[in-house]
Chains A and B, each alone.
Chain A
Amino acid sequence: MMLPLMIFRSLKQHALSTVITALSIALGGGLLMSVWAVKEQSQAVFTGVNAGFDGVLGARGSKLQLVLNAVFHLEASPGNLAWSDFETIRSNANVALALPLAVGDNYKGYRLVGTLPDLLQQVEFAPGKRFTLPEGEEFFDAGRREAVVGSFAAQKLGLRRGDKFHPYHGLIFNEKDQHAETYVVVGVLEPSNTPADRVIFIPLEGIQKMTGHAAYTATEISAVLVKLKSPAAGFQMDQMYNKQGNRLTFAWPIGQVMMELFKKIGWFDQLLALISYLVALVATASILASIYNSMNERRREIAILRALGARRHTIFGAILFEAATISALGMVFAFAFYAAIMVGAAQVIRAQTGVVLDPWKFSWVMVWAPAALIALGALAGIVPAVKAYRTPVADYLVPVS
């Protein structure tokens, strides 16, 4: 019963160092948890996003670049493919659905994606989920200069139904490269928490035949999103396009291709994790330093407690508990740091990719990281606890003059 009081009083007596030490633990713990959770969630989300398709057909090149371009609307297209390639794959008996994409223009930095209306109207971008529009708005007509804007892009650009805009050439915004065509926004998609939120969809021909584009682009597309009838068909397509052919690339399955990205940036993950481990370790070491440094002033108190009958192991345990308590206190604050870092990271990731992370999603790191840091904190208390344990009672019962 008196142990919590002893710890509380000691923490109160050393309030400043307690708060600073707890905050350093909070920073270390928060960083550790958020790095882990961002890595875990982003890996799960990015390898799970496939826009409702199994593979992407594109020009010969990197599968990863193809997927990033066609599914995540990032990166430049590795090259174009002919309309006939689209027709060939669309008529393949193993293909359930194939939809062409054409990219190459933007509006104030937000990418224009030319496609067929089916992409927005018929495809489930995730199981049971389709793109939806608010009441009174509509998907674009393939024969008109109409646009459907992703929710995030609409919010950032301030576009609403009825607004008109001129596209700009290229994927990077340059106000000198404005096209003459005027597009009318006919709908703003409800948030889908997918990369589609960051793009502006227009009819395929709009990109193909935009003024200023080379004439050959009218019969070319950037990629084809492909939905297969069976997983086995993927092997056949892989064989046909990647192994036997040398003109096109079939990126399949999309999730596995994305895993390559995480493998490529694995070193960066490890570096971040290492930094967060080090921060946590340094923070834990600060517990050791703060308690150890206060030991000289505490030795009289320890001697008095011992003279009152406190046993050595009671004093030893009290110091360990105190160290663990500082760590636990820090981990309470760590969740605030965690939330702040996660909310910030989720916003950046959403702005850059359209993919939404859930800052409040449970992760086991929220259990093991606090447990590990509290245990580490207690371990850090061992050195000062040993010093306390060895306090010669008689020597410290008299006040230091």
Chain B
Amino acid sequence: MTPLLEIRQLKKSFVTPDGGRHTVVAVDYFAMPEQQQLALSGESGSGKTTFLNLIAGILKPDSGTITLEGSAMSALPEAQRDRLRATKIGYIFQTFNLLQGYTCLENVLLGMSFGPGVDRPFALGLLQRMGLEQKLNHYPRQLSTGQQQRVAVARALANRPRLVLADEPTGNLDHRNATEAIGLIREACRENNAALLLVSHDREVLQRFESVQDLAELNRAARAAEGAV
């Protein structure tokens, strides 16, 4: 069975201030089946965000392939990667990245407008599911951190994505809110038949996942292979 996400020989490096190149991501193989919920562990600076940005098509890899639902994302021109991201991928950021000038509802609707189109009833349903039915017209600054996180989750799911990427989604939350948020993200993804790839360095968060992989291991294996060549 074809996995939802399949990554081969992925490599991404950046130019260092002294003119050299620093390899941040070097993943030989990585795959996720449909609806899987997988946590990737990794310390700060281990390339977690870069890895997610590569999967989301925000960054273009130096080499290798990323295939999402049969589409070789890494080979697509930028406009098509944008389109694929808008329709197949939901992204939850550590800092939520809500648009401050827009209400909760508008944040969700705006995300939809770049994808398959605005579906207001679905957006309202999502926000209701997140317990935000009373906050639809509130601006992010008028919400608690936990509520902002829930808006970000609703926005990530607004386009009925096949894959949700979550980058340290509990990094800005206290323990109680973090526990609730992880539960909510997992439930919401399950209800919407979306796979979840969550990266975190928080042990408590990682412990709540049945499947956990270490990004450092993934990177190490590839780098070792690179070194052997």
Report A's interface with B, CB cutoff 8 A: 1-2, 5-6, 9-10, 12-13, 300-301, 304-314, 393-394, 397-399
Complex: how many Å from CA A13 to CA B85?
27
Closest chain B CB from A1 CB (angstroms): 6
A9 and B101 in contact, given A1-B113, A309-B83, A394-B53 (Cβ under 8 angstroms): yes
Residues of B within 8 A of A300 (CB): 97
Cβ–Cβ contact B114 & A397, under 8 A: no
Chain A contact residues: helix, strand, loop or mixed: helix
A397 touches B109 (CB 8 A): no
Query: B82 contacts A306, CB within 8 Å?
Result: yes
Residues in chain B near residue A313, CB distance under 8 A: 79
8 interchain residue pairs of minimum CB distance: A309-B86, A309-B114, A2-B113, A9-B101, A311-B82, A304-B97, A308-B111, A13-B101
Our pick among B50, B59, B86, B101 for the contact of A308 (Cβ within 8 Å) is: B86
With A and B bound together, what is the CA distance between A393 and B118 in angstroms?
23
Q: Which residues of B contact A2 (CB under 8 A)?
A: 109-110, 113, 118
With A5-B106, A9-B101, A12-B101 known as contacts, the answer to whether A312 contacts B58 (CB < 8 A) is: no
A312: chain B residues within 8 A (beta carbon): 78-79, 82
Specify which of A1, A5, A13, A307 is in contact with B97 (CB 8 Å cutoff).
A307
Q: Which residues of A contact B59 (CB under 8 A)?
A: 394
A307 close to B101 (CB less than 8 A): no
Q: How far is the CB of B187 from chain A (nearest CB, A)?
A: 22
Contact B79 A308 (CB under 8 A): no
Task: Tell me which of A1, A10, A305, A308 has the highest count of chain B C-beta atoms within 10 A of its own C-beta.
Answer: A308
Mark B residues whose CB is within 8 Å of A. 49-50, 53, 56, 58-59, 78-79, 82-83, 85-87, 91, 93, 95, 97, 99-102, 106, 109-111, 113-115, 118, 155, 159
Whether A397 contacts B113 in the complex (CB less than 8 A), given A301-B99, A307-B58, A311-B82, comes out as no
Given A5-B106, A9-B101, A394-B58, A308–B95 Cβ distance below 8 Å? no
Give the A-B pair count, Cβ closer than 8 A.
75
* Majority DSSP secondary structure for residues of B touching A: helix
> With A306-B82, A307-B56, A309-B87 in contact, do A397 and B93 touch (Cβ < 8 Å)?
yes
Write 12 A-B pairs (CB below 8 A) sorted by A numbering.
A2-B109, A2-B113, A9-B99, A301-B100, A308-B110, A308-B155, A309-B82, A309-B159, A310-B82, A310-B114, A398-B49, A398-B95
Whole-angstrom distance from the CB of A397 to the nearest CB of chain B?
Answer: 6
Which residues of chain B are within 8 angstroms of A399 by Cβ–Cβ distance? 95
For the complex, give the distance between the alpha carbons of A248 and B181 in Å: 101
Smallest beta-carbon distance B164→chain A, Å: 13
Do A397 and B97 touch (CB < 8 A)? yes
Q: Check A304–B85 contact: CB distance below 8 A.
A: no
Shortest beta-carbon distance, A393 to chain B, in Å? Answer: 5
A15 to B115, CA, bound (A): 29
Give every chain A residue within 8 A of B95 (Cβ-Cβ). 398-399
Give A304 to B87 CA distance when docked, in angstroms: 16
**Which residues from A are CB-within-8-Å of B79?**
311-313
Report B106 CB to chain A, min CB distance, Å. 7
The chain B residue sitting closest to A3, CB to CB, is B113
Q: With A and B bound together, what is the CA distance between A13 and B139 in angstroms?
A: 13
Q: Which residues of A contact B100 (CB under 8 A)?
A: 301
Q: Residue of B at shortest CB range from A303? A: B97
Q: Which of chain B's residues have a CB closer than 8 A to the CB of A10? A: 101
Distance (Å) between the CB of B50 and the closest chain A CB? 8
In the complex formed, the residue of B with least CB distance to A314 is B114
Q: Which residues of A contact B159 (CB under 8 A)?
A: 309
Query: A308 and B91: CB pair below 8 A?
Result: yes
The interface residues of chain B lying within 8 Å CB-to-CB of A311 are: 79, 82-83, 114
Complex Cα distance, B78 from A306, in Å, reads 11
Closest Cβ of chain A: how far from B83's Cβ, in Å? 7
A398 CA / B49 CA spacing, docked (Å) = 10
Which residues of chain B have C-beta atoms less than 8 A from A309's C-beta? 82-83, 85-87, 111, 114-115, 159
| Cβ–Cβ contact B102 & A9, under 8 A | yes
Q: Which residues of B contact A12 (CB under 8 A)?
A: 101
12 further A-B pairs in the complex, CB-CB below 8 A; given A1-B118, A301-B100? A2-B110, A2-B118, A5-B110, A9-B99, A12-B101, A304-B97, A309-B82, A309-B85, A311-B114, A394-B50, A394-B59, A398-B95
The CA-CA distance from A6 to B109 in the complex, in Å, is 11
Q: How far is the CA of A306 from the CA of B115 in the complex (A)?
A: 12
Q: How far is the CA of A304 from the CA of B59 in the complex (A)?
A: 14
Min CB distance B98 to A, Å, is 8
B77 to chain A, nearest CB (A): 11
What separation, in Å, do the CA atoms of A393 and B102 have in the docked complex? 20
A13: which B residues are within 8 A, CB to CB? Answer: 101
A392 to chain B, nearest CB (A): 9
* Assembly CA distance A344 to B9 (angstroms): 75
Closest to A310 in B: B114
Task: Closest B residue to A308 by CB, please name it.
Answer: B111
